[in-house]
Amino acid sequence: MSGLENVLVVGTGLIGTSVALALRGQGVTVHLADRDPAAVRLARELGAGVEWAGERVDMAVIAVPPQVVAGQLAELQRAGAARFYTDVASVKALPLRQAAEIGCDLATYVAGHPLAGRERSGPAAARADLFLGRPWALCPTGKTSPDAVEALRLLIKLCGGEAVQVDAVEHDRAVAVVSHAPHVTASAVAARLAEAPAAALGLAGQGVRDVTRIAAGDPNLWTGILSGNALPVADVLEAVAADLAAAAASLRASAGPAAGNAPGAGDAPADPEAMGRVTELLRRGVTGTGRIPGKHGGPARAYATVQVIIGDRPGELARLFQVARDAGVNIEDVRLEHAPGLPLGAADLLVQPEAVPALSEALRAHGWRLP
């Protein structure tokens, strides 16, 4: 393995085009192919590479739906398109099994999956930085050649991702828990919003927006993903459904028959233990959120926040960043609590903790209000 000088991306959707853009940014020659000529043309115009004319490349990245990965792999291998092959599908056992069944060369193929996405799809939504700091699973088998693994590791590194080696079946169970079942659950919560009275939506806060954000994703694309990981996802969804049904039963039991249970439910008093079972579920949830690692696999980065009140005028943020620059402080991230139409909002400036005193002092000295 001497490097990746040229790469072929087959399938110029969101993920394929983002891989292409990331590799181009690192000086790799990228060839593009898609069964839809318009998608290739758009990806090319976005600077993702050049149309593939059959050149042999170091690595082919198969960025097509999970069900058609193996067929695409076989076709490319027959054509001798690349030294090594990988894919980016969200499930891994299915393409590996199908590839074996149809007689693909399993030495040059290493299955992969970047854990990155957006609610939008297609090449126009692609971003060169989509994989920065994100996990990227790679699932070699006993038949995969070490050189193929090394090639994929290099590709992941060039894209800015964090390689996570994992068995394919283990991968599929993991993404059922951390991606696929959460997606369906978000859809089920959002489905309630579809049938709620309009007035109820007027009370929607940030919480429900966060819970349901991913439910805006493309239903057809997600049907393909879920279909390719059906049983592991079903296992998780059944567990979630059971917890929610139990919580509903506990809530009814806590209210007791007088609070509106169906007539004939008997005259049992409200169950004083019932809410304890709900609390227990909430506690398990807190434990679960605490196990999510920070962006780079370690604990979440400890930036400190400096909050400042800002006006709704052009240039307000420019002046603020200028003050930070003059104070020698790099603002790592900024979050605006901006209420259009209202005169004031607040900006949360995320900075290295040691920069807080200097920034706060500089902002105050220039007349900014820090709450």
Instruction: Return d(Cα 73, Cα 86) in angstroms, integer.
Output: 9
x/- site string to its own copies, residues 134 to 163, per CB under 8 A?
Answer: xx-x----------------------x---
Task: List the x/- string, 85-124, binding to its own copies by CB under 8 A.
Answer: ------------------------------xxx-------
- The packing angle between helices 230-255 and 274-290, to 10°, is 140
Please, are residues 114 and 87 in contact by the beta-carbon 8 Å criterion?
A: no
In one-letter notation, the amino acid at residue 19 is V
Q: Which is nearer to its own copies, 107 or 163 (CB)?
A: 163
For residues 151, 157, 160 and 166, what is the CA-based torsion angle, rounded to 10 degrees? 70
Distance of CA 136 to the CA centre of its chain: 11
The stretches of the chain forming alpha helices (DSSP H) are 14-25, 37-45, 69-79, 93-101, 146-158, 168-175, 181-195, 198-201, 206-212, 219-227, 230-255, 274-290, 316-326, 356-365
Query: Smallest distance, Å, CB 309 to its own copies?
Result: 8
Assess 305 for contact with its own copies (CB under 8 A).
no
Tell me: does residue 358 bind its own copies (CB under 8 A): no
Per CB under 8 A, 30 contacts its own copies = no
Residue ranges in 220-279 that form contacts with its own copies under rule CB under 8 A: 220, 222-223, 226-227, 230-231, 233-245, 247-249, 251-252, 254-255, 259-260, 275, 278-279
Question: Angle of helix 219-227 relative to helix 181-195, nearest 10 degrees?
Answer: 140
The count of C-alpha atoms lying within 13 angstroms of the C-alpha of 354, restricted to the half-sphere facing its C-beta, is 1
Which one of 3, 142, 273, 287 is in contact with its own copies (CB under 8 A)?
Answer: 287
Contact status: 2 vs its own copies (CB under 8 A) = no
Instruction: Work out how close the CB of 129 gets to its own copies at its nearest, in angstroms, rounded to a whole number.
Output: 4
Does position 44 interact with its own copies (CB under 8 A)? The reply is: no
Closest to its own copies by CB, 56 or 283 = 283
Q: Is 125 in the site for its own copies (CB under 8 A)?
A: no
Q: Please, what is the minimum distance in Å from the beta carbon of residue 191 to its own copies?
A: 4
